[in-house]
Amino acid sequence: DTAVSQTPKYLVTQMGNDKSIKCEQNLGHDTMYWYKQDSKKFLKIMFSYNNKELIINETVPNRFSPKSPDKAHLNLHINSLELGDSAVYFCASQLTGRTGELFFGEGSRLTVL
């Protein structure tokens, strides 16, 4: 079974549309993240939730709205999509403990035309 799963894996849409990406983890972790990886491969943190509570909110346009219905799910909704939103969006789940290593989902590649 996939530990961190994201849907959809690929998303092609027009500018101005609204879209959502969903993430689920079955690892029993308390903390989940959304990262954006652009064409230059830089991993940029967007949001982090711990037990459904928002704990990290980086400087992200308010067109991006995360939602965590429970600690196993973290969804990302994007309004009024722009060309610059094209990227791979990774969901990650964090193991609490000595290392705090991240377990990443396979990524959702968003292309805005």
Partner 1 sequence: GQNIDQPTEMTATEGAIVQINCTYQTSGFNGLFWYQQHAGEAPTFLSYNVLDGLEEKGRFSSFLSRSKGYSYLLLKELQMKDSASYLCAVKARRNAGNNRKLIWGLGTSLGVNP
Residues that bind partner 1 (CB under 8 A): 40-45, 48, 50, 55-56, 90, 98-107
Nearer to partner 1, 12 or 55 (CB): 55
Q: How many CB atoms lie within 10 A of CB 85?
A: 20
Question: Is the Cβ of residue 15 or residue 43 nearer to partner 1 in the bound state?
Answer: 43
Q: By C-beta, is 7 or 104 nearer to partner 1?
A: 104
Give the β-pairing of 10-13 and 43-50: unpaired
Preceding omega of 8 cis (within 30 degrees of 0): yes
What's the half-sphere exposure (Cβ side, CA atoms, 13 Å) at 33? 20
CB of residue 40 vs partner 1: minimum separation in angstroms?
Answer: 7
Distances (CA, A) of 16 to 48, 65, 85: 26, 15, 11
Name the minimum Å distance from CB 54 to partner 1.
9
CB of 44 to partner 1, least distance (A): 8
